[in-house]
Amino acid sequence: MEIMRTVLLWASENQWMRRNVPRLGFVRKALKRFMPGEDVAETIEAAKSLRDRDITTIFTHLGENIADLSAAGEAAKHYLVLLDWIAAEKLPTEISLKLTQIGFDLSEEQTYRNFSAIAARAASMGNTVWIDMEGSAYTQRTIDFYRRAKRAHANVGLCLQAYLYRTEQDIADLLPLSPAIRLVKGAYREPKEIAFEKKSQVDQNYLKLSKQLLRASREGKVRTVLGTHDLNIIAELEEFAAREGIGRQRLEFHLLYGIKTAEQRRLAKAGYRVGVLISYGEFWYPWYMRRLAERPANLMFVLKNVFPG
C-alpha cells in the first residue's frame, strides 16, 4: 500500500501524466464520485442539497502552480465572481484556495494583492477564506503569508498538517493571532527528516494537536476545524470534547465531498458543525491523484469504470 501511495503521489507531479490521464473517459467517470462537476453551477446545486441537511460547504476552484501572472490574476478574479455567486444564492459557503494558484511561485507581492482583494470581498459578506497548505517547500512561506494576511483581514484561515514535526510549534506561535486553523493529516510526499513516516504516528500527532486546539477554542483563542474522515479520531474527539465540556457547536468537522457521506450526515444530525469541501474546475488531475493516494483501494473504483456492469 505504501508503494501504491508513492507511485500515485509521483504520478500527481508527472507532467506527461498530467497532460494525458485527464483525457481518459473512464477516469473522468470515476471522478464523479469526488466532484459534482467541473462547473460552478453543479457545485452550487450540490451545496444546496447539503444545506438542506444542515451541512455547510467550502468551495475550491482546482488549480495549482500557475506559470504566469496573468493566469494567477484570472484565478483570483474567478474567486471574486464566485463570492458574488455565493452571496446571490445565500449559501453558507466559504472558499479555500492554494497560494500557488494565485501567483505564489512568481511574485509574493502580486499574490498578496490577489489574496487581499478576495479576502476583502469575502469580509464584506461576512465570509471566510481558507488558505490550503501545499508541499513542504511552501510551509514557512505560507505561514508567513498567513501572518501578514491575518493582520490585515480577520476573516482568513490556514490549513496545517499533522504529519509535519514542526506543526505543534507553528500552532503555538500562531495562537496569539486568534487564528482559524484547519488541521489535516497532510496529503503530500514528505521526507522522514521533517514528517512522521508511519500512519500510526501521524494519527497520534493529529489527536494530540487537535486536543490542544480544542482546548484553545474553548477559551475563544482559535477557530478549530478538524479536517478528517478518520472515524476513530472523530469518535475519540467527540468523547474528549464531551469530557472537557466543549459544546457540540464548538466542534467543527470538515470533510471532502463524496467521502464518508454517512458520517457527514450523522455528525450534522448530532448537532456538530459540519462542512463539506467541494472541488470543481478543469484542472483536477493532481488533486485527484492525491485523493487516490489517500486510499489506493479507490483505484479499483476507477478501474471498474473501464469495464462497467
Residues labelled as active-site residues: 132, 182
Q: Which of 207, 245, 205 is nearest to 226 (CA)?
A: 207
Grid coordinates given for 132: 490550503
Residue 186's φ and ψ, nearest 5 degrees, are 115, 135
Q: Interface mask (CB under 6 A) for ligand FAD, residues 14-33, using x and -? A: --------------------
Contacts (CB under 6 A) with ligand FAD, residues 114-143: 132-133
Does 8 interact with ligand FAD (rule: CB under 6 A)?
Answer: no
Q: Give the Cα separation of 298 and 272 in Å (integer).
A: 28
Nearest residue (CB) to ligand FAD, 155 versus 279: 279
SS percent in the chain: helix, strand, coil, step 5:
55, 15, 30
Q: Give the Cα separation of 168 and 165 in Å (integer).
A: 7
Contact pick of 36, 103, 157, 186 for ligand FAD (by CB under 6 A): 186
Total residues in contact with ligand FAD, by rule CB under 6 A = 23
CB of 127 to ligand FAD, least distance (A): 16
User: Other C-beta atoms within 10 Å of 41: how many?
Assistant: 11
- Report how far apart, in Å, the C-alpha atoms of 68 and of each of 27, 60, 61, 107 are: 28, 20, 17, 10
Nearest residue (CB) to ligand FAD, 254 versus 273: 254
The residue ranges of DSSP E strands in 168-230, in sequence order, are 180-184, 223-227
Q: Give the Cα separation of 139 and 125 in Å (integer).
A: 29
Does 228 interact with ligand FAD (rule: CB under 6 A)?
Answer: yes
Please choose, out of 14-22, 111-119, 141-149, 225-233, the segment that lies near ligand FAD by the rule CB under 6 A: 225-233
CB of 214 to ligand FAD, least distance (A): 16
Residue 9 · residue 293 · CB < 8 Å: yes
Does 230 interact with ligand FAD (rule: CB under 6 A)?
Answer: yes
Contacts (CB under 6 A) with ligand FAD, residues 159-178: 159, 161
Does 277 interact with ligand FAD (rule: CB under 6 A)?
Answer: yes
CB of 225 to ligand FAD, least distance (A): 7
Does 156 interact with ligand FAD (rule: CB under 6 A)?
Answer: no
Q: Give the Cα separation of 59 and 61 in Å (integer).
A: 7
Does 97 interact with ligand FAD (rule: CB under 6 A)?
Answer: no
Contact pick of 175, 177, 259, 302 for ligand FAD (by CB under 6 A): 259
Q: Give the Cα separation of 118 and 152 in Å (integer).
A: 12
Residues that bind ligand FAD (CB under 6 A): 132-133, 159, 161, 184-188, 227-230, 254-256, 259-260, 277, 291, 294-295, 298
